[in-house]
Amino acid sequence: MVRSVLVTGGNRGIGLAIARELAAAGDAVAVTYRSGEPPEGLFGVRCDVTSSADVDAAFEKAEAEHGPVEVVVANAGITKDTLLPMMKEETFTDVIDTNLTGAYRVAKRAVRPMLRLRRGRIVLISSVVGLSGSAGQTNYAASKAGLVGFGRSLARELGSRGITVNVVAPGFVETDMTAVLDEAQQEQIRKSIPLGRQAQAEEVARVVRFLASDDASYITGAVIPVDGGLGMGH
Ligand code: NDP
């Protein structure tokens, strides 16, 4: 059966790779985008995850096109890096609002129809730094660590209803987000990765596809590192 899937931030980077991977596996995929154009070949819905009204409208459009959403990937995320003494309060709260509260808005909207279906898959895209910490990223690391507690609590709430909730913690992935780092910073990170290289977004996408599949039927509340050994399983 073709499943209805929604991926937030699915117009580029890791989210786009996840959307393509799930579409190739046979799912009917809707992706959210904030600006620009939706990606070719995928059903795009405009949505800013900092707005509950936007999130609701995105689900309504995905539901109208593909039916009740069975798989949700909360992937949309931002960084606003700076050391804590220089970090304005809004620099902290903006990152939390997008990365953590955004995932809350998306998961909350997803859950009721999944409860009616008595099945569902929720995947939250966290980060290795949510567990290891990262200087200059107190806001980002807090948001990504928050997803672990959020996801595990939700996994406990929904387990008896056939809905799984899992967290994927990527390491250093080649996307626009990491392209802003200069070559010296990138080289320093690469040196600390046992596999000695950045990940391609597709390497994260394949793990999400697995967690969303029947093969992962007995996995919930897990945090799966996809980090080349950077966090050593945390
Ligand atoms: P990109 O910067 O390439 O893409 C970010 C995506 O999130 C875009 O689609 C963007 O939409 C969307 N987005 C950002 N803010 C909002 C918002 N308020 N509402 C809706 N969509 C939004 O990032 P990556 O692909 O690298 O990252 C994807 C996820 O993976 C993020 O959660 C990130 O934290 C996480 N991650 C990334 C790692 C990496 O090394 N790249 C490592 C670990 C985790 P738009 O294009 O419209 O702005």
In this prediction, residue 225 carries a pLDDT of 98
Which amino acid residue places its CA nearest to atom 8 of ligand 1? 9
Q: Is 46 helix (H, G, I), strand (E, B) or coil?
A: strand
Q: Is 78 in the pocket of ligand 1 (CB under 6 A)?
A: yes
User: pLDDT tens digits for 54-108?
Assistant: 999 999 999 999 999 999 999 999 999 999 999 999 999 999 999 999 999 999 9
What's the rounded mean pLDDT across residues 97-124? 98
Angle (CA) 96 100 104, round 5°: 135
Q: Ligand 1: does its nearest atom lie under 6 Å from the Cβ of 75?
A: yes
Place of tokens 């950077």: 230
The CB of 9 under 6 Å from ligand 1? The reply is yes
* CA 156 to chain centroid: 19
On the question of pLDDT at 148 being above 80, the answer is yes
The answer to whether residue 140 is catalytic is yes
Report pTM. Answer: 0.98
Q: CA 141 to CA 92: how far, in whole Å?
A: 10
End-to-end CA distance of the chain: 36
Q: How far is the CA of 99 from the centre of ligand 1 (A)?
A: 9
C-alpha 13 – ligand 1 centre gap (Å): 7
Stretch 155-167: mean pLDDT:
98
Find out whether the beta carbon of 37 lies less than 6 Å from any atom of ligand 1.
Answer: no
Percent residues over pLDDT 70 in the chain: 100
Residue 198 has pLDDT above 90, yes or no: yes
Mean pLDDT of the chain: 97
Q: Say how many Å lie between the CA of residue 117 and the centre of ligand 1.
A: 29
pLDDT value of position 233:
77
Helix and strand totals (H; E) in the chain: 9, 7
Residue 11 near ligand 1, beta carbon < 6 Å: yes
Mean predicted confidence (pLDDT) in 189-216: 97
Q: Give the pLDDT score at 36.
A: 85
**Nearest one of 170, 77, 151 to 110, comparing CA atoms:** 151
